[in-house]
A = this chain, B = another copy of it.
């Protein structure tokens, strides 16, 4: 593999995944990953552009940012690209009025969206909200539409909580896709539109940007398909087998965000 200087040359903007990179989430509010609070601060002082790019869809951006600020992170709502606000923009642009199958924690993001007489379904990680009754209602709304539109905030298979593995929105998206014979539109990583909106907000081109994440497929593979570089951290959902993934090879593997930032400050934009 090329030297870090070569791999990081010309980087002007950094996209940071949040969960598993900045902190580990949990019912207790979560714990910062060692060195990450300082790493974010150093990155912001360096002159490199920084944006946070997350698939979090159980919390509003306001709540997510409040959690992170309590942990000591320098972060504001305007710096976060997240699926719910991206979805709201799509809904407005296309005149879509959603039936919402979402978690209560993210509902405030949709406060200004017209949900009367729905002409599409928006599904997010609803957790316990994925009851048979709620799923059947979403299914019935789709079946009554001449052209069913299903928008899914991410398509993760599962995630890890302190209590164990938890089914993520992707499983329920697949259930509705099969029952209705439709294909969902995914808003969130690894969708190229989602990465591109984060790049646009940051004001850098894909070839000048690098993604730092813990998910070899969603973060690393997704960013690379958009023409960005990508590093995987060995924190969060990282597993040793990720370094020998059959389809995705990161531009580098680092122990954590602190090491990634150290390398970037040495070699980026030189």
Contact = CB atoms under 8 A, between A and B. Distances in A.
Which of A128, A166, A178 has the most chain B CB atoms inside 10 A of its CB?
A: A178
Contacts of A166: 136
Contact of A139 (B133, B139, B167): B167
5 contacts: A129-B132, A131-B131, A139-B171, A140-B165, A157-B179
A10 to B, nearest CB: 37
A158 interface: yes
A interface secondary structure, majority? helix
- 8 tightest A-B CB contacts, nearest first: A171-B175, A171-B179, A174-B178, A175-B175, A130-B132, A157-B179, A174-B174, A128-B132
A170 interface: yes
Nearest to A138: B167
Which of A164, A167, A170 has the most chain B CB atoms inside 10 A of its CB?
A: A167
A172 interface: yes
Interface in A105-140: 126-133, 135-136, 139-140
Contacts of A129: 132
A224 B77 CA distance: 59
Interface in A11-52: none
A135 B176 CA distance: 15
A165 B181 CA distance: 14
Contacts of A180: 157
Contacts of A168: 179
A68 B176 CA distance: 33
A248 interface: no
B139 A132 contact: no
Contacts of A165: 139-140, 143
A179 B170 contact: yes
A180 B157 CA distance: 8
Interface string A155-192: 00110000011111011101111111100000000000
A179 B175 CA distance: 11
Interface string A74-111: 00000000000000000000000000000000000000
Contact of A132 (B127, B176, B179): B127
A172 B133 CA distance: 13
B157 A178 contact: yes
B135 A130 contact: yes
Nearest to A136: B167
Contacts of A178: 157, 170-171, 174
A96 B174 CA distance: 27
